């Protein structure tokens, strides 16, 4: 349509029209991010600076975690090698600036999708990887069994997070008072809570589970039953590069689709020989999907072979094979009553 319009204009008007289009704010050249990644040979991914289950650096610099594995999945899809990724640890305050400035290519760091973030930061969320909710953790010795019993409590919380707002909203809605203890550094706010300076740690339920898992005595702490908000987490990218947005979004969907169809890292080679046209398209036996995204036809095969399907990623980092041992809950496949659902990969 654009070419047809240009043909109807005089050369002068056509040049002016193209200049105006190229100057539109927030418009990046299609493929700009992918081209840069291929040139440097790795994906730069922003992750948590150290949260059990989601993003944790090892003693030898090896990162592990749920969000970390989705970074590896993006590298597998775009470069054919899940190891071609570098990690930038970011605080809650640093994360958006790092993505806006181009310091990182994608942000995969337990970040809630909200209208404000999607509309005002020049960034956009891709596909939800984890459904969470705001909760409260207290020492078991406090004897509290409900968040409604927290009137007058001191509450540890990090600034610049949805948790800070959610805590204030909850206490106000319940006509309760509280004293916030606001600390920016993740490690510092954790140590402050464990030292007994705060009665309560307020954060996403999954984050509280990760924090509790590294306590000297995890059983001394309890996460109260109330989940008071909706916190969908999704990787984020800069607005303006539609191809990169699509790639990251469909990387997430590919891991989900693989689980739905019973494709795992152990059987993916066998499944690549399947006669099921849906499996053939996903794994690249029948070409087309890779070309549409601008990546190799075996992009999804590389993800599953090297990183695993959604269930494998969840289980080893957060679920039954991890120290957190979280139930799938809302993060179960829609086939099992959860919210995890891939758009049609066809």
Tally of domains within the chain = 2
**Where residue 51 sits, what CATH number does that domain have?**
3.40.190.10
> What is the pLDDT at residue 59?
82
**Domain membership flag for residue 189:** yes
Structure confidence at residue 23 (pLDDT): 38
Residues 176 and 320 in one domain: no
| Residue that terminates a domain, selected from 229, 251, 281 | 229
Burial (Cβ within 10 Å: 0-12, 13-18, ≥19) of residue 90: buried
Residue 343 lies in a domain: no
How far, in Å, CA of 43 to CA of 141, rounded? 45
Please check whether residues 151 and 60 belong to one and the same domain: no
Domain boundary residue, one of 184, 200, 229: 229
If asked whether residues 303 and 180 sit together in one domain, one would say: no
151 and 109 in a single domain? The answer is: no
Residue 57 and residue 70 in one domain: yes
Walk along the chain (346 residues) and give the pLDDT tens digit of each residue.
Answer: 444 444 444 444 444 433 333 333 444 444 799 999 999 999 999 999 899 999 999 888 899 999 999 999 999 999 999 999 999 999 989 999 999 999 999 999 999 999 999 999 999 999 999 999 999 999 999 999 999 999 999 999 988 888 899 999 999 999 999 999 999 888 899 999 999 999 999 999 999 999 999 899 999 999 999 999 999 999 999 999 999 999 999 999 999 999 999 999 999 999 999 999 999 999 999 999 999 999 999 999 999 999 999 999 999 999 999 999 999 999 999 999 999 999 999 9
Residue 265 lies in a domain: yes
Within a domain: 311: yes
Side-chain-side CA neighbours of residue 147 (13 Å):
24
Closest to 85 measured CA to CA, from 118, 61, 59, 115? 61
Contact 52, 213 (CB under 8 A): yes
- The residue segments making up the domain with residue 82 are 32-131+233-326
Same domain, 151 and 290: no
Residues 48 and 196 in one domain: no
Within this chain, do residues 117 and 140 fall inside the same structural domain, yes or no? no
Contact 134, 202 (CB under 8 A): yes
- Given 208, 229, 250, which residue is the final one in a domain? 229
Query: Does residue 256 sit within a domain?
Result: yes
**Max Cα separation, the chain?**
79
Examine residue 331 and state whether it is found in any structural domain, yes or no: no
d(CA 9, CA 21): 14
State the pLDDT at residue 4.
Answer: 46
pLDDT at residue 83 in the model:
98
Sign of CA dihedral 333, 334, 340, 344: positive
Question: How many Cβ atoms from other residues are within 10 Å of residue 11's Cβ?
Answer: 8
For residue 335, is it within any domain?
no
Residue 25 lies in a domain: no
Question: Do 36 and 181 fall into the same domain?
Answer: no
Identify whether residues 147 and 127 lie together within a single domain: no
Residues 169 and 40 in one domain: no
- The residue behind tokens 């959604």 is 310
Do 140 and 284 fall within a single domain? no
For 117, phi and psi rounded to 5 degrees? -65, -40
pLDDT at residue 162, rounded to an integer: 87
């Amino acid at each position: 349509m654009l070419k047809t319009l240009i043909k109807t204009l005089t050369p002068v008007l056509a040049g002016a029209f193209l200049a105006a289009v190229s100057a539109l704010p927030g418009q990046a050249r299609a493929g700009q991010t992918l081209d840069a990644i291929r040139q440097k040979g790795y994906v730069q991914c922003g992750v948590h600076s150290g949260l059990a289950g989601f993003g944790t650096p090892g003693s030898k610099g090896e990162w592990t975690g749920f969000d970390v594995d989705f970074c590896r999945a993006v590298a597998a899809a775009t470069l054919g090698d899940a190891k071609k990724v570098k990690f930038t640890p970011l605080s809650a305050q640093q994360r958006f600036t790092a993505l806006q400035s181009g310091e990182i290519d994608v942000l995969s760091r337990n970040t809630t999708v909200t209208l404000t973030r999607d509309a005002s930061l020049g960034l956009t969320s891709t596909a939800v990887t984890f459904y969470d909710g705001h909760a409260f953790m207290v020492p078991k010795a406090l004897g509290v069994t409900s968040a409604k019993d927290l009137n007058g409590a001191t509450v540890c919380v990090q600034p610049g997070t949805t948790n800070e707002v959610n805590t204030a909203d909850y206490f106000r809605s319940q006509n309760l008072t509280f004293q916030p203890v606001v600390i920016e550094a993740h490690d510092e706010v954790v140590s402050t809570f464990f030292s007994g300076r705060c009665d309560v740690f307020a954060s996403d339920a999954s984050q509280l589970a990760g924090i509790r898992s590294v306590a000297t005595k995890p059983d001394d702490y309890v996460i109260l039953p109330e989940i008071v908000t909706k916190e969908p987490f999704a990787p984020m990218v800069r607005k303006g590069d539609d191809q990169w947005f699509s790639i990251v979004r469909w990387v997430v969907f590919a891991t989900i689709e693989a689980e739905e169809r019973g494709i795992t890292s152990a059987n993916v080679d066998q499944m690549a020989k399947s006669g099921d046209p849906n499996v053939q398209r996903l794994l690249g036996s029948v070409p087309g999907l890779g070309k549409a995204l601008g990546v190799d036809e075996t992009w999804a095969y590389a993800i599953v072979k090297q990183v695993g399907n959604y269930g494998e990623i969840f289980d080893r980092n957060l679920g039954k094979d991890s120290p957190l041992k979280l139930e799938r809950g809302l993060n179960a496949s829609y086939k099992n009553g959860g919210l995890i659902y891939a758009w049609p990969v066809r």
